[in-house]
Amino acid sequence: MTNITSCEVDTALELITGKWKHSILLVLINGDTLRFSELKRALPKISQKILTAQLRDLEEQDIVIRTVYPEVPPRVDYRLSEYGKTLIPILEAMNEWGMRHAERMRSN
């Protein structure tokens, strides 16, 4: 029997659910450091306002690191934190399960 509780699962899901957080994480998963404009280009359907809000939330959770460079015009980039990288196996497992589930649904 596993020691999984609803409270902890809810906590984990709150972090990565929503329309855009997982998409942002998937863009950053390769270890790239990306500027805001590069993230926006990678996610063309997200609005600038929502991307900003989602990045701030991920930063507050110590999942994403935001670096501001003292330049004119200002330059800001984003990357996964070491803590954020701990989500990679979870996202990979979810991807694997999703592929198996989609195949199962096609074969039914």
Q: What is the pLDDT of residues 10-51, one digit of tens each?
A: 888 888 887 899 999 999 998 899 999 999 999 999 999 999
pLDDT at 1: 57
Using a 10 angstrom Cβ sphere, with 0-12 exposed, 13-18 middle and 19 or more buried, the burial of residue 10 is exposed
Question: Which pTM was predicted?
Answer: 0.85
Q: Give 45-104 pLDDT, tens digit per residue.
A: 999 999 999 999 999 999 999 999 999 988 999 999 999 999 999 999 999 999 999 999
**Residue ranges per structural domain of the chain:** 7-107
User: Which residue, among 68, 66, 80, has the nearest Cα to 25 in the 3D structure?
Assistant: 80
How far is residue 1 from each of residues 5, 10, 13, 87, 95, measured CA to CA in Å? 12, 19, 21, 24, 24
pLDDT at 18: 77
> Which letter does DSSP use for residue 79 in this model?
E
CB contact burial 35-60 (16+ within 10 A = b; e otherwise): ebeebeeebeebeeeebeebbebbee
Return the CATH class of domain 7-107.
Answer: mainly alpha
| The amino acid at 63 | I
pLDDT at 13: 83
